[in-house]
């Protein structure tokens, strides 16, 4: 029986680098499993990190992965001014009322506002804007004959260029959201999705009403054979203090400062471990402030900054660790590190935000606490640090949970169904 995806060409626009954590590793896993299962060609546009970055063709399984570097403007990126929390909340509330009740009114929007927005509203440049994005997309289509455009990032001027070019070329496009579904409320994102052939995300939490019936939850997935504690040589040393591990980019939104505060409270109560922070320092200023805080609080001997780690190094640290901490304020979709840790039988403590609750069974594979509640976060860390049997039991349950819900095969099947639903409609002229 013929595979309906065979001989198709899919292009991904993700606003990501060729390698790294998070979205980069997710796309690498996803494309690899899709190519093992389907005779397809996948083109991945990635941000040029070094001048010597070049196009790379890789034969994987039955298909081919083509990685094409994109030059981006990294200068003069405007930052949003900081607003006091109370004023910001009030402004967001009023903005939401106007957006949902007036702007996107079922009668007013198609009759009046959509035309005005198309004419006068300009999406922001965003971070790392791709230079001549639409023209580059057109040239790729001329070379490869693209069947489906998969957007993993929308809402900025460069993504608008690509979408407009796709419309001219009559190429269907879909969007997959990797963050909290709150992002769908952004006017720029919502405008660029008006003509999308499909809309999906990695979690089903907080789907706005206008997407009900259109939204597809493709979830997330990891390589459970790779993230398997039985296959890792690094062994836990019973004679050292338990390790609390947090692999994440060093930026304020990831909440490392809350974890250091929580650990400081534990130390004052006489409960010591070792706090290990790993990840690329995207904000040197923030990293320096964390290091100063560690020194000021007298935690130098207990807190380690590892910097960016490769996949194998992260794996070994999971094996050594007793707890994964995840005090993020970032609007997460379905964080991979929560699945990775549980697959490695490491229980966790995390803030409840975005799609995090879908990746944890609270009280069974880890603990969820209210975002920003450092006292509750400290309490859950204290419980896990002091109860070896509880950690072991939660670790076993976490492994089972991830194997059942988040394998790469299940991830591939969800994406295949999503892509084919769009391509099938196109074939039938809808």
pLDDT for 91 equals: 60
Beta bridge partners of 175: 151, 199
Length of the chain (residues): 430
The pLDDT of residue 426: 63
Q: Measure the CA–CA gap between 288 and 249, rounded to whole angstroms.
A: 14
Contacts of 78 (CB under 8 A, 6+ apart): 125
313: Cβ contacts below 8 Å, ≥ 6 apart: none
Numbered ranges of CATH 3.40.50.2000 in the chain: 9-75+125-221+408-427, 229-405
**Predicted local confidence at residue 209, as pLDDT:** 87
CA torsion angle 327 328 334 339 (round to 10): -30
Strands 303-307, 215-217: pairing is unpaired
Residue 11 near residue 142 (C-beta atoms within 8 A): no
Would you give per-residue pLDDT tens digits along the chain (430 residues)? 668 899 999 999 998 888 776 788 889 999 999 999 999 999 999 998 787 888 999 999 999 999 999 988 765 444 444 434 444 555 655 677 777 777 877 777 777 777 777 777 788 888 889 999 999 999 999 999 999 999 999 999 999 999 999 999 999 999 999 988 988 988 999 999 999 999 999 999 889 888 988 999 999 999 999 999 998 875 555 547 899 999 999 999 999 999 999 999 999 999 989 999 999 999 999 999 999 999 999 999 999 999 999 889 999 999 999 999 999 998 888 899 999 999 999 999 999 998 999 999 999 999 999 999 999 999 999 999 999 999 999 999 999 999 999 999 999 999 999 999 999 876 555 5
Q: Count Cβ neighbours within 10 Å for each residue of 202-220 and write b for 16 or more, e otherwise.
A: bbebebeeebeeebbbbbb
Specify the pLDDT at position 231.
83
pTM for this one? 0.81
**229-405 is a CATH 3.40.50.2000 domain:** yes
Predicted confidence at residue 80, as pLDDT, reads: 42
> What's residue 105's pLDDT?
77
Res 79: pLDDT:
44
> Which pLDDT belongs to residue 48?
86
The CATH number of 9-75+125-221+408-427 is 3.40.50.2000
């Amino acid at each position: 029986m013929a595979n309906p995806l065979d001989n198709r060409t899919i292009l991904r626009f993700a606003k990501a680098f060729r390698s790294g954590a998070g979205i980069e590793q997710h796309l690498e896993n996803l494309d690899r499993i899709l190519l093992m299962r389907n005779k397809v060609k996948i083109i991945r546009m990635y941000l040029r990190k070094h001048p010597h970055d070049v196009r790379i063709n890789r034969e994987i399984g039955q298909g081919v992965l083509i990685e094409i570097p994109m030059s981006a403007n990294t200068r003069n990126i405007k930052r949003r001014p900081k607003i006091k929390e109370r004023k910001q909340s009030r402004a967001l509330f009023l903005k939401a009322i106007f957006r949902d009740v007036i702007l996107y009114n079922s009668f007013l929007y198609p009759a009046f506002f959509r035309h005005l927005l198309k004419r006068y509203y300009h999406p922001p440049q965003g971070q790392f804007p791709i230079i001549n994005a639409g023209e580059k997309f057109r040239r790729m289509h001329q070379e490869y004959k693209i069947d489906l455009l998969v957007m993993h990032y929308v809402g900025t001027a460069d993504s608008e260029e690509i979408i407009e070019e796709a419309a001219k070329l009559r190429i269907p496009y879909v969007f997959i959201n990797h963050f909290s579904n709150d992002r769908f409320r952004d006017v720029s994102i919502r405008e660029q999705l008006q003509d999308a052939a499909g809309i999906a995300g990695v979690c089903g939490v907080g789907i706005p009403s206008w997407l009900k019936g259109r939204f597809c939850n493709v979830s997330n997935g990891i390589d459970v054979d790779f993230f398997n504690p039985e296959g890792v040589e690094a062994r836990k040393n019973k004679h050292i203090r338990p390790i609390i591990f947090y692999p994440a980019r060093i930026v304020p939104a990831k909440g490392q400062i809350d974890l250091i505060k929580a650990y400081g409270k534990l130390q004052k109560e006489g409960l010591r471990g070792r706090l290990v922070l790993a990840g690329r320092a995207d904000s040197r200023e923030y990293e320096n402030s964390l290091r100063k805080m560690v020194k000021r609080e007298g935690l130098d001997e207990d807190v380690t900054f590892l910097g960016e780690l490769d996949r194998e190094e992260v794996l070994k640290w999971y094996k050594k660790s007793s707890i994964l901490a995840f005090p993020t304020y970032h609007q997460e979709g379905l964080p991979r590190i929560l699945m990775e840790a549980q697959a490695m039988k490491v229980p966790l403590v995390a803030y409840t935000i975005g799609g995090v609750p879908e990746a944890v069974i609270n009280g069974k594979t880890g603990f969820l606490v209210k975002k920003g509640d450092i006292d509750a976060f400290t309490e859950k860390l204290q419980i896990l640090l002091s109860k070896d049997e509880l950690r072991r039991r939660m670790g076993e349950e976490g492994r089972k949970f991830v194997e059942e819900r988040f394998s790469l095969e299940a991830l591939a099947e969800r994406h295949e169904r999503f892509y084919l639903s769009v391509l099938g409609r196109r074939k039938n002229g809808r």
